[in-house]
Amino acid sequence: NAGVTQTPKFQVLKTGQSMTLQCAQDMNHEYMSWYRQDPGMGLRLIHYSVGAGITDQGEVPNGYNVSRSTTEDFPLRLLSAAPSQTSVYFCASSYLTYGSDTQYFGPGTRLTVL
């Protein structure tokens, strides 16, 4: 199993540009989520999904869109990048079954918005 994969690893954008961060998992996990990590603040939940076709907002959803058309993929879209979105983004996935619902994280995407 490749686990949770994320692309790209690094990205630099100009203010106003759009882009999609890719996340995929091959463990047939129902639950997938996106977090951002900022210095001194730990990780904060952006959006999450409990299955294909079902998404919901987390703590800091503004400026981001998600969709879940398959179990495996959960892309995160930045519609109009802003410097405040400079961060490290992590995707995570897990089963929904109690006891098997520990979340495992991808390697992260470091995004800089100029």
Partner 1 sequence: AQKVTQAQTEISVVEKEDVTLDCVYETRDTTYYLFWYKQPPSGELVFLIRRNSFDEQNEISGRYSWNFQKSTSSFNFTITASQVVDSAVYFCALSEQSDSWGKLQFGAGTQVVVTP
Binding site for partner 1 (CB under 8 A): 31, 33, 35, 40-45, 48, 50, 56, 58-59, 88, 90, 92, 94, 96, 101-108, 110
Minimum CB–partner distance for residue 47 and partner 1 (Å)? 10
CA pair distance 11, 113, nearest whole angstrom? 8
Minimum CB–partner distance for residue 39 and partner 1 (Å)? 9
- Angle of CA points 94, 10, 42, to nearest 5°: 50
Please say which residue, 14 or 98, places its beta carbon nearer to partner 1: 98
Please say which residue, 35 or 81, places its beta carbon nearer to partner 1: 35
DSSP states along the chain:
---EEEE-SEEEE-TT--EEEEEEESS--SEEEEEEE-TTS-EEEEEEEEETTEEEE-SS-TTEEE--SSSSB--EEESS--GGG-EEEEEEEE-SSTTS---EE---EEEEE-
Please say which residue, 15 or 57, places its beta carbon nearer to partner 1: 57
Minimum CB–partner distance for residue 103 and partner 1 (Å)? 6
Please say which residue, 8 or 107, places its beta carbon nearer to partner 1: 107
Minimum CB–partner distance for residue 31 and partner 1 (Å)? 5
